[in-house]
Chain A
Amino acid sequence: MNSISTHDLLLSIGQRTLVRGLDWTARAGECWSIIGRNGAGKSTLLRTLAGLQQPNAGSVQVNGRALPDWPLAELARQRAFLAQSRHDAFAYTVLESVLSARHPYHANRYWEGSDDHQAAMQALASMEVDDLAARDVRTLSGGERQRVAIAALLAQQTPLLLLDEPANALDLAHQVSVMGLLARLCREQERTVVMIGHDLNLAARISTHVLLLMGDGRWTAGANDQIMRPALLGDYLGHPIDMIEHEGRRIFIPKEGTA
């Protein structure tokens, strides 16, 4: 069964401790949202989970095996990572950028196979960007580029998905459809999703679990309905939050400022 967990994890930048003693597990079929203020260490944590950064102490395990013990290519068939932003220096096509996500499957071949093309085209279609396949990635709009990047993540076909602000630059309709797709992947295919997001309402709707980061070492993790409470969220986000019920959904809105 796919899972990712941390054991007594310590993350710090300079003198500042971001996360202390994080013992946490995300199991198959769970969809986690990481929520916290700017600079609370969300991206640092996600990059550490992806193996891009070393923790200051503690360890990260994927399927019960510590990250340094995984061969990189094998690990790349287990987990995919969506970076917060990207810069394209060369004129690769959309299709080439998505095909690159198939790298861990054909490391010994010089060219991709037809199954790779199929996976890439399917992923592009699921993000509604298949008509852009031949375009230069540098000519895309921010939202289109983000959807292509998510398509690449899907083409990697991993049980474990780590996403740093997947809703970034997406319009409303695509925010909802991308989030819905991620929730479906957890529900129907038993995949594990860990993502960072700033939209409390999207997170409340699709996450099964939430991890709150305070940015001074403190953290709180648990099931959606235990964590997504106005008082707790307000505490962690540094601004009072109201909750209203609308057609059976919980809607979170920031209280009017006093200033």
Chain B
Amino acid sequence: MQASVPPLRQRATLIVGAMLAFSIATLLFAGMTGSIRVPLHEIPDALRQLASGQPDSLSASLLELRASRALVAFATGGALALAGLMMQALLRNPLADPYVLGVSSGASVGALLALLLMTSTLMVDAAALAGAIGVAMLLYLLARRDLRSGQAAEGGASMLLLTGVIVSALCGSVVTLMLSIAPEGRLRSMIFWLIGDLAGAPLRLLPWLVLAGCLLYAMRNARAMNMVALHAENAVTLGVRVGALRKGLFFVSALLTASAVTSAGSIGFVGLIVPHACRFAFGPDHRVLIPAVVLAGGAFLVLCDTLARTIVAPQQLPVGAITAMIGAPVFLYQLHRLRK
């Protein structure tokens, strides 16, 4: 049995390595695909030009445009998937997801309010974070009693999902309210923001920094997340500071959701299907899942976005429509399997 220790680590390295290679491949694929194809043999030269900061050839400028959009998609997808994974461990419920639970809509309300008041970009970010944390805290307070008594999985699961639906509905109506009173000039930017599109999203450093920081936090707490997923409240008797971990996970997943929503609007179901698929493929150990989910989530959204801008080209679809069309059936399937 001693022999099984190194393989565990090797297996994790192998999985993460493979996912990393796959992620880079999807980024390149996204860079090549579009109305004008960039042939594979021109990629190295174009990359060299980009690295030197002078994209002269057509391939290089195409790659720059598409790659920066793909990188935004990657950071967004990774953040959403990690946020979903954290909420699932925290609530011990494989159906938890920032979109389903209304955390994304909370962020939308915050961001739209900031847009309505014509504040700076930084204020939009901060308002989205405040909205996400507000909803997350509300859910936490409501779920707390169920978590305590260990009923979160039986009656509590549907209770929590219902709460999420209601909170989403409330946020949706607040958004409608804000749109209806918004002045004409602001309306266009608000609507575009709301649709959840990567088309106009600028490549910014902040979402990557947030993702890196949160990934670090998650990796440091990977073992403790396993403990909470397995033992819930009783993980205290195994030396885990459950209260502090839960607060940390709630805050960090809200931060990730807010970061994703501010860069690309409200994109659904990534936090649900990606962790679900990874758990199915690699098992429930968070030490493997955390890096795998971030890479898989990033790659997934890059592919969805490539699909969104090519499927009915030259028209572009919002990427949220694609993820929802894949995610909603998966969610329904999961829900029914859980009921059995």
Contact = CB atoms under 8 A, between A and B. Distances in A.
A118 B2 contact: yes
A251 to B, nearest CB: 35
Contacts of A80: 237
A103 B223 contact: yes
B226 interface: yes
Contact of B237 (A50, A96, A117): A50
B127 interface: no
A117 B5 contact: yes
B1 A89 contact: no
Interface string B8-20: 1100000000000
Interface stretch (A105-113, A179-187, A189-197): A105-113
Contacts of B8: 111-112
A110 B222 contact: yes
A52 B234 contact: yes
B279 A91 contact: yes
A72 interface: yes
A32 interface: no
A72 B285 contact: no
B337 to A, nearest CB: 12
Interface string A98-127: 001101100100111110011001000000
B240 interface: yes
Contacts of B5: 111-114, 117
Given A89-B229, A100-B230, A114 B2 contact: yes
Nearest to B338: A89
A145 interface: no
Nearest to A112: B5
Chain B interface category by residue count: 20 to 34
B153 interface: yes
Interface string B264-279: 0000000000000001
A107 B284 CA distance: 19
Given A117-B1, A118-B1, A92 B238 contact: no
Interface in B217-235: 222-223, 226-227, 229-234
A156 B237 CA distance: 10
B93 interface: yes
By CB atoms of chain A within 10 A, which of B1, B9, B227, B239 has the most? B239
B237 A52 contact: yes
Interface in B117-176: 150, 153-154
B176 to A, nearest CB: 35
By CB atoms of chain B within 10 A, which of A87, A89, A91, A112 has the most? A89
Interface string B44-80: 0000000000000000000000000000000000000
Given A75-B239, A90-B279, A111-B287, A52 B233 contact: yes
B279 A79 contact: no
7 contacts: A81-B234, A87-B153, A87-B232, A88-B230, A90-B230, A114-B1, A117-B2
Interface of B: 1-2, 4-5, 8-9, 92-94, 150, 153-154, 222-223, 226-227, 229-234, 236-241, 279, 283-285, 287
